[in-house]
Amino acid sequence: MLPALVLAQFGGTSSWFAVNAVMPDLQAAFGWSAAAVGTLTAALQGGFIAGTLVFALLAVADRFPARAVFLLCAVLAAATTLLAAFVAHSVPALLACRVATGFFLAGIYPVGMKIAAQWYPQGLGTALGWLLGALVLGSASPHALRALAAQGLGLPWQAVFGVVALVTALAGLLLWWRVPATPRPAGAGAGLRLGALATMATDRRVRASVLAYFGHMVELYTLWVLVPTILATRLHGVAVSWGAFVVVGAGAAGCVLGGLWARRVGSARVAGLMLAGSGLCCVLAPWALAAPLPLFAAWLLLWGVTVAGDSPQFSALTASNAPRDGVGSVLTLTNSIGFAISALSIELFVRLAQSVPLAQLLPWLALGPLLGLLALRPLMRPPSGPA
């Protein structure tokens, strides 16, 4: 069952960076500015935020069969991604499509984690390592599709949207077909559970993992958006797309290896190590940007691995400590707030990147990992009593 869930998560989230992957083509075709990539990414994040708020407040992931929610949202995300190919000439229309896609992704990413949390209560960090690794690889895949379309297949950029839409819809069907219905805990279907959501503030252990996740979200998606810009300082043309696929996709290895390591040392320690590693990469940016190409590549790969490798462990920690009948809502609301933080970070850093050298700008991303490490400290110690 886990391979099917992993493949479904991979395909279901492939629409996340579809526009980012073809941004050079859109800029050439329609004359858009370099800052447009930040606005379009923030639009998708905004849709995701709205979707996760609606899903959390209505307890959609806890009231309705998770497989049905995943399937419906995958089909709708595929439809809005396909529509984007036909309206890409219009910035307002494309923005609307990205907002809608982000909204429906709220029924894919957190719902997939909720399904994993119900089927794998033991070893959840490992299961989520595979699941979030699939999400990272799915997010990176449009960069590879764009490179193939431009280089090997000779296809237009619209083909990227078409392939991504097909893969997204098939992901929903795969999960529906291969993953059994999850057992529903007592109290499921009761609607909004304010008590469960309140544990994000009142429970010491839930609060620690949630706040650490927020620090992580300051850095993660902002780096992913800036990766092509960073690579463009050394590479050109299709090589930038291949490089972006490798750097972003390297996070999948971090998720999987971190999940396996969590069996031995625990999710909190893995998350802390990843936060420290990505924060160090931020600080090293001024030196690494001017380093010889092999060292530049090694720095970016390490950053790609560590910036995403802690994601599954934050989700595992939160899911393990949240009330069992409210796990879906807690994870969804946590995602909502985290992506609101990421949208603000993306907009700020992408705009600053137009006038501030990367060597001066990138070290400031270290504030996110630093805040995350501070928040994570209570989970580094054994529990000493009630929250």
What does the H/E/C string look like for 30-76? HCCCCCHHHHHHHHHHHHHHHHHHHHHHCCHHHHCCHHHHHHHHHHH
Record the pTM.
Answer: 0.78
Residues 144-158: tens digit of each pLDDT: 777 776 665 566 778
- Find the CATH number of the domain harbouring 152: 1.20.1250.20
Per the domain annotation, does 108 fall within a domain? yes
C-alpha torsion 17→18→19→25, nearest 10: 130
pLDDT one-digit tens code per residue, 225-265: 999 999 999 998 888 988 999 999 999 999 999 988 988 88
Residue pair 94/36 in contact by the 8 Å Cβ criterion:
no
| Structural domains of the chain, count | 1
Condensed to tens digits (0 to 9), the pLDDT of residues 46-76 reads: 898 898 888 877 877 777 888 899 999 999 9
pLDDT of residue 151: 65
More confident of the two residues 173 and 124: 173
Inside any domain, residue 225: yes
254 versus 387: the higher-pLDDT residue is 254
Whether 138 maps to a domain, the answer reads yes
Residue 296 lies in a domain: yes
Residue 82 located in a structural domain: yes
Q: What's the rounded mean pLDDT across residues 22-51?
A: 83
Check whether 103 has a pLDDT greater than 90. yes
Q: What's the domain range around 300?
A: 2-180+191-378
| pLDDT, tens only, 137-146 | 887 877 777 7
Decide if 385 is inside a domain: no
Q: What is the arithmetic mean of pLDDT over 3-18?
A: 85
CB contact at 8 A, 285 and 295: no
- Domain presence at residue 387: no
Task: Give the Cα separation of 164 and 348 in Å (integer).
Answer: 28
How far from the centroid of its chain's Cα atoms is residue 9's Cα? 11
Residue 386: inside a domain: no
Query: What percentage of the chain reaches a pLDDT higher than 70?
Result: 89
Least confident range of 9-18, 325-334, 351-360: 325-334
